[in-house]
Amino acid sequence: MFVEENTLQVDRVPRSVVYRFSYTLHGRTQLWASGDFREVQEHARLVVADGATDPRFEVELVFD
């Protein structure tokens, strides 16, 4: 799995963070989202081991 590291500079502190993991399994695109990174990471580990393809992580910073 390829992981890309980016640097983001923000003037404000986000109110919350949402972690998303999308993937394709059995021909269907799925999305798992949570405010708990470890929960998303564990789900990603399980579905990739089960044969998921096209894995993608996203992070959303919520300010207002």
In a domain, 41, yes or no: yes
Instruction: Return the pLDDT at 14.
Output: 86
In a domain, 14, yes or no: no
In a domain, 2, yes or no: no
- Cα–Cα distance list, 23 to 10, 32, 38, 41, 51 (Å): 29, 9, 17, 13, 10
Does residue 44 sit in helix, strand or coil?
helix
Q: Give pTM, 2 decimals.
A: 0.71
Query: What is the side-by-side strand order in the sheet with 53-62?
Result: 28-34, 16-25, 53-62
In a domain, 58, yes or no: yes
In a domain, 10, yes or no: no
Residue 60 φ/ψ, nearest 5 degrees:
-115, 125
25 is in which domain, residue-wise? 21-62
In a domain, 45, yes or no: yes
Q: What is the pLDDT of residues 11-49, one digit of tens each?
A: 788 899 999 999 999 999 999 999 999 999 999 999 999
In a domain, 15, yes or no: no
User: How many domains does the chain contain in total?
Assistant: 1
